[in-house]
């Protein structure tokens, strides 16, 4: 599966490659979901799939990291 999308927030062209693994999937209903992919270099990105809208890609950001 190879898909292309232009991310307007980071001005980059994102591509889902065959080597990218899905590491988490959040299903809201039968036609809306968020899939987090991890590339071989360990970077991650999220593909948001929404009904009647184009797929949206973004890079997840950590807002706060607290030591346990």
Q: Domain for residue 32, yes or no?
A: yes
Domain span including residue 37: 3-58
Q: Domain for residue 13, yes or no?
A: yes
Over the chain, what is the mean pLDDT?
A: 81
**Average pLDDT, integer, range 8-12:** 49
Q: Domain for residue 7, yes or no?
A: yes
Would you say the pTM of this structure is higher than 0.75?
A: no
Q: Domain for residue 63, yes or no?
A: no
The number of distinct structural domains making up the chain is 1
CA atoms of 18 and 20, how far apart (whole Å):
6
Of the candidates 5, 52, 60, 46, the one whose C-alpha atom is nearest the C-alpha of residue 31 is 52
Q: Domain for residue 28, yes or no?
A: yes
Where residue 17 falls among pLDDT bands split at 50, 70, 90? confident
């Amino acid at each position: 599966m190879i898909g292309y999308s232009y991310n307007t927030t980071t001005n980059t062209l994102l591509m889902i490659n065959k080597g990218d693994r899905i590491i988490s999937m959040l299903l809201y209903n039968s036609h809306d979901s968020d899939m987090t992919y991890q590339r071989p270099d360990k970077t991650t990105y999220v593909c948001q799939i929404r009904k009647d809208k184009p797929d949206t890609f973004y890079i997840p950001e950590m807002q706060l990291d607290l030591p346990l």
